[in-house]
Structure 1
Amino acid sequence: MQTILIVEDEEVIRLGLEYILKQEGFSVVVAPDGLEAIDIFNEHPEIDLILLDLNLPDIHGYNVLESVRAQKETPVIILSAVDLETSIVQGLDMGADDYIMKPFKTRELISRINSVLRRHNRANSNIINLQNLTIDINQGKVFKNGVDVFLSTLEYKILLMLALNPNEVFSRDQILSNIWDIDEAYVFDNTLSVYIKRVREKIEDDYSNPKIIITVRGKGYMIEEYNDK
């Protein structure tokens, strides 16, 4: 059972969140202020995610976030009524994994909690399963139906980047800037297409009808959500 720490000074909201999360099968611990939240976090290493209000009665939520990030990469979702772009950007820049505006819909909150937890678990996992494909991050190897598939360094980087961020569409420029050590302006327009084709030829059952690396017309490439159990 995954554990969520709720940091919220308003009792009605705190109790409501606690009830909702328990109904969804989470274990819950609560803190009405920032200093208590830090103490609880230090005493409970099993905490998997933090829901963090910013306007706390003692210290600012950003101070709590800063304290958490100084120790661990535990996922943090900010819950705030402040809709200023500067506040959202600051929270994300300080290491928050998501920023949800109050009031929020229950199903949206649960969906985003689950999404953040999945991303975090995959980023800290050494194995990624994609249909009949397995990526062993420790070994830097890819297996199809248990058979080792040779990928060049760039091919592997492309696949791993997409696999670690399922359902996220990456544009040509985003992919190039992440995998190339040179200015992407010096890379021919069709170079990425060639590499994507090579990866598909090696990992897809039918590279002309890809099921793993999907083309999103006019936007880029993505790998759809997968089950890595």
Structure 2
Amino acid sequence: MQIYYFEPDAMIQEATAREMKGNDLKPIMIDEEFFTRDLSMLAREGNATRGIVLSETPDTMKYVKTLRAAGCNNPILIITNHRNSIEAAEMINQGADDVIVRPFKSVQIIACINRTNRRSHGHDDASVQVGEIVAYFDGRDPEVSGHRLKLSQREHAIFSHLALNIGRVISKDNLYDAVYGMDDNQPFDKVIDVYICKIRKKIESRTGKKYIETVYGRGYKLAAPEEEEASKSDEGYGSSALQAVEEVLSTGS
């Protein structure tokens, strides 16, 4: 999981970043200049699930307001050195999603980000059932027919974003943002197609069914095959009914 991490103290940054990297967090370090850049990219759907972790400074409230004013809906977590209910409440009122007191562990960051993301997408539970697949929002790999489906880090990021948006078509650009975001080391633009193909094959090898649909010109959609067929049938019925009405109107019958 990628996060944007602001920590002005070099020694603390090094120590906490090391712990994060050892626990499935990939911190992208940001500084004061980050908040003066064009932050509109953060408002893109794929970027919106990436957490922003800010160590408290005198300018913390200004940074939060700047992010929200730019349309950023990312989970924003504030790291503070002391517990103060009034200050914490003010930070949340100004747009932060949570306040965490030092010392902290990566599992806390991951849990807070996952909770905020799943609720913002309308999921109250920590998992969702899609046919034979159980997709988890707590960082675990999905299960297919009760057995773990091992995914690489980037496959997991793509699958998780599709799972948050079950039944919705998600563009390739949004999936690309969900995996790479504003990282400087970005690969070729066909990489999402490659990862989708790998995930699809892994699922189909277990189920014999197609759970990830390619919607040409629009993106990809995760849905149970039965639901997908029913949706197509309904669309076909609606189209036939509309055609029949048009024929009646044209003949004046």
Structure holding more helix per residue? 2
Q: Larger Rg: 1 or 2? A: 2
TM, length-normalised to structure 2? 0.43
Structure holding more strand per residue? 1
TM, length-normalised to structure 1? 0.47
